[in-house]
Amino acid sequence: MHDRRQRIHELVLALLAQQQDLELLAGDGSSLPSGDAGSWLERNRRVVLRYQALVRSAVTLDALVDQEVGESFQAGAMAPPP
């Protein structure tokens, strides 16, 4: 379980490194030009959704790698010895 979590963490970092315009959550909303709490919440919601998509992508990539490795391992185990 720890190895899988570490792999996913590394995949998330790799995906983050490829992002051109990485946004961070806004603090208390006072830094927004309009000062509108609704726009502050909406902006932070969009940022969180983007990070969630990156994490889901990393989990999917990890699962695909596990599947491929598992299939390769099974195919090797079933192959007759040379």
Domain count, the chain: 1
Q: SS3 for 26?
A: coil
Interatomic CA distance for residues 54 and 48, integer angstroms:
10
Per-residue model confidence as pLDDT tens digits over 54-77: 999 999 999 999 998 887 766 666
Q: Is residue 29 part of a domain?
A: no
Query: Structure tokens of 46?
Result: 């969009």
Return the pLDDT at 77: 60
Where does the chain have alpha helices with state H?
2-17, 37-78
82 in a structural domain:
no
- Say how many C-beta atoms besides its own lie within 10 A of residue 57's C-beta: 13
With respect to residue 53, please indicate whether it lies within any of the assigned structural domains. Answer: yes
Range of the domain at 63: 2-17+36-76
Q: For residues 21 and 23, what is the distance between their CA atoms, to the nearest angstrom?
A: 6
* DSSP tag of 18: T
**Cβ atoms < 10 Å from Cβ of 29:** 16
Q: Residue 80: which pLDDT band, with cuts at 50, 70 and 90? A: low
